[in-house]
Chain A
Amino acid sequence: LEECGRISLPASTVRLGDSITASCTVSPNCSRLGSEAQILWKLETEPQPGERQRRLEDGSQESTITLPPLHHPRALLSCCLRWENTLQILDQAELVAGYPPAAPHNLSCLMNLTTNSLICQWEPGPDNHLPTNFTLKSFRSRGNCQTQEEPIPDCVPKDAESRCSIPRKHLQLYQNMGIWVQAENALGTGKSPELCLVPMDVVKLEPPTLWALAPSPEVAPPQPGCLLLRWELWKPSLYIDQKCELRHQPQLGEASWALVGPLLSQTLQYELCGLLPSTAYTLQMRCVRWPLPGQWSDWSPSLILTT
């Protein structure tokens, strides 16, 4: 197919609110043409005045136009020719407009012992109207991340997700690492503030399992207004010293939660007293790595017991 006309753009992506200068070159042997072809421009469906046209040495015609500031993220630019009372479209180009990516923010990470990975998430920032790639970057470090020791392979999130998981094989669980998020599009790069953390210090445990402790020859029945409880720590976390806390509230009524703790993880059973007699209570427990740093687990599923 003989090429009649071709649009040239200095860049395919511009900043919203900027204008762009385009040129269209119409070849002399574009069949069925008159000697002085008049090149016209349309932006979407709107004719665009103000083009400048000249003949090139090879006989081609070149039209150049500076478009008004672009206020839409996408616009279709057409190079046309008036021919026998019709407007012939010779070429089209999609104008893409947007902003450089904002710096991602609210970066936070948790060490997940189920998947054995460090899961980080962040806020991507406002829509910049352009395809934007996010990459979680990190490095190993001694001290407080002032010096980079070994880079860790980039973590590229699945499509459009604002989270990424660094697998165990890239982690040293008890050493400092620097972490940040980089956003990149055609107009630039945005970098989040950097975190400096030790993976195990941001470990988030799964909640313990809470049970009623049935009276037995070894365990006397509970006193009036008391409940006998026991709990089992989440198995994958048994090697971690933890403390837990219990919260309870009467199942009916508006009373708020009452908190009991800390309950050291070796305790494993507890007599909760000071409750209303013959009353159903909702109980939940959560645990955290302790005395070493960690993140509280979620509250366990509720256990309903009656005094």
Chain B
Amino acid sequence: TPLGPASSLPQSFLLKCLEQVRKVQADGAALQERLCATHKLCHPEELMLLGHALGIPQAPLSSCSSQTLQLMGCLHQLHSGLSLYQRLLQALAGISPELAPTLDMLQLDVTDFAISIWQQMEDLGLAPAVPPTQATMPTFTSAFQRRAGGTLVASNLRSFLEVAHRALRHFAKP
């Protein structure tokens, strides 16, 4: 399998990852649109205070940012971040009947993406033997908190994916 010129990763893997990023971005956008349309939660910046109170963790992607781009470190952070978002989305279960299908689809696609990366790391012999420590999940105690949490998580995920997409595009550049 031809390797991505800017990296030791197979080109097909990089193309798949780029597709999966775009797929998760589309799912995330769908969730944000529905949260806005159905519950008028359209601006995450209006929920910063609540976000701090809930303690919604963010996923670092320093090894994927252009200044400190480092392939294997980026893969690790990408996988850890996706695992974090998988758990955050799981914690949002019960968000609302109208949003459940959209949330389920997003969670399935995030999970698929995490598995794709993990298996590639395993194939490269880079999968960490000891799973990284897992951040504490917030506890949502009301339907409103789940929807507000959903708005914040979707927004954070969007930023996360933008950085991931840029890095993967760089690795896949002919």
Contacts and interface: CB of A to CB of B under 8 A. Distances in A.
B116 interface: yes
Nearest to B22: A239
B58 interface: no
Interface string A170-203: 0011110000000000000000000000001000
A241 B168 CA distance: 15
Nearest to B17: A174
B20 to A, nearest CB: 7
A292 B19 contact: yes
B126 interface: no
A291 interface: yes
A241 B104 CA distance: 24
B34 interface: no
Contacts of A174: 16, 20, 112-113, 115-116
- Most chain A beta-carbon neighbours within 10 Å: one of B108, B111, B113, B116: B108
Label chain B's interface by main secondary structure. helix
Interface size class of A (residues with CB under 8 A): 10 to 19
Nearest to B119: A142
Contacts, number: 40
B19 A172 contact: no
Contacts of B22: 238-240
A116 interface: yes
Interface residues of B, number: 20
A98 to B, nearest CB: 42
Contacts of B38: none
Contact of B25 (A169, A175, A239): A239
Contact of A239 (B26, B105, B108, B119): B26
B112 A291 contact: no
A173 B15 contact: no
A172 B112 contact: yes
A118 to B, nearest CB: 13
Given A168-B108, A238-B26, A175 B119 contact: yes
B109 to A, nearest CB: 8
Given A174-B112, A240-B19, A292-B12, 6 more contacts: A168-B105, A174-B20, A175-B119, A238-B26, A239-B25, A291-B15
Interface of A: 116, 142, 168-169, 172-175, 200, 238-241, 291-292
